[in-house]
Amino acid sequence: MELTGLTIHELQGLLRRREVTAKQVLMAFLKRIAQVEGKIQAYMTVTGLEALRTASRLDRRRQAGENVGPLAGIPLAIKDVICTQDVPTTCSSKILDGFIPPYDATVMRRLDQAGMVLLGKTNMDEFAMGSSTENSGYKVTHNPWDLDRVPGGSSGGSAAAVTADLCAGALGSDTGGSIRQPAAFCRIVGVKPTYGRVSRYGLVAFASSLDQIGPMTKDVRDAAILLGVIAGHDACDSTSVNVPVPDYAAQLGREVTGLRIGIPKEYFIEGMDPEVETAIRAAINVLESLGAKAESISLPHTEYAVATYYLVATAEASSNLARYDAVKYGFRAREAKDLLSMYMKSRQNGFGAEVKRRIMLGTYALSAGYYDAYYLKALKVRTLIRKDFEDAFKRCEVILTPTAPTPAFRLGEKTDDPLTMYLSDIFTISANLAGIPGVCLPCGFTQAGLPIGLQLLGKPFDEATLLQVAFAYEQATEWHKRNPPL
């Protein structure tokens, strides 16, 4: 039995029955990391020594009959945009080189209370700005299904680590598809919760009205387990919503008979890879065979989503990233002669090209004379996009779409054309603008053996229904059981 290939819920059973110890599980993953990480480059930091102390402590507590929590002994990886006390958090940016937070994010506190073992922090596009994890300031992560292709982004390190069995599960963040798109490219399950469902306290901000933390796992049950741990109101986050958190895992077995699934015509566009469309159409047929009812719907303002997103997100990024002045922490240019040149040279050398591009776009959109023409207009269109979803959910419980228009593309293929790169998130961006939840899960492979992802979108705070539908589809198919040829 290869421990690293097991799901979270399978490992929970072994640990609960004391068939293995937390230390044995951890050592299996550390061995796997030593063997495979050199090919994948998924991690920014591996916290092996501290993980060993945590696992040993959990084993002693379990042996003593203490309540050790539902995730006791489960090794998880965390995207390097989430603050971890005493562990470097760089957002894969040179400007945060050497930064070690003095506190834990709320999601980290909740995972710690549940008994998880922190394996390390994963690589990402710098400040979560990108769709390929090629924008990291430190390294490029490779897709385990084809080492010459991207794992998606910006949570590419987390996605690659999960599918390559370098962790039992992971957390990512999703601002415009950064959990769901890499989940599709790497054949795993990714959940973007409703905005406000999971605390953003301790999440380094990119675009504050869009960012959301979510789980990335090997199957739907694992996603339900992790979401159940991290979800819930938090007084430290003013945007956190105080609504009850259901037992997601307990509700997974429900049937989908009679459930209405909307298929938006705007998401089946010219230029979409034919193999992707074929896989999505086949997935619709599977759900109909399970008793769900599929019907065509319209989300008429979808065509404006990318333009709207890249105004709202960059404007918020311009504001959020103004705090990195090289004074209090992180990278500082050595050759500066005075305060102003220190600011300018530090930001010039500390930020990568994509981050600087978005800061400039956002600053321009917010500047005098352009605010009304760009940013204010984008906010109005955002309201129309949200209204589209509100109207659609009067006719259906769930919306089904492709996650990405193509499978994983080759490394370097889109780095010289930012607009083409931005369009790889065309099907995921609207959910962030509307604040609704989304789930990505595997629904097929191309002839070249590359994963294809299915996206399910739901009503605000109705992650339970999304997971129910995702689980029903997963149980009727075998896509989640295939492993990359590492």
Positions marked catalytic? 79, 154, 178
Structure tokens of 42? Answer: 């998924």
Angle of CA points 422, 165, 469, to nearest 5°: 65
How far is it, in rounded angstroms, from Cα 399 to Cα 259?
Answer: 11
CA distance 74 to 412: 35
Q: Which residues in 350-383 are b (16+ Cβ under 10 Å) and which e?
A: bbbebbbebbebbbebbeeeeeeebbebbeebbe
CA dist 389 and 41 (Å) reads 38
152 residue type, one letter: G
Q: How far apart are CA 97 and CA 82, in angstroms?
A: 15
Please tell me the distance from the alpha carbon of residue 282 to that of residue 276, in angstroms, as a whole number. Answer: 10
Helices (H), 96-231: 106-114, 156-163, 180-186, 220-230
Contacts with 34 (C-beta within 8 Å, 6 or more apart), sequence order: none
Task: Tell me the C-alpha to C-alpha distance, in Å, between residue 328 and each of 99, 249, 270, 317, 372.
Answer: 10, 43, 49, 20, 34
Report CA-CA distances (Å) from 307 to 174, 314, 377, 390: 18, 11, 11, 21
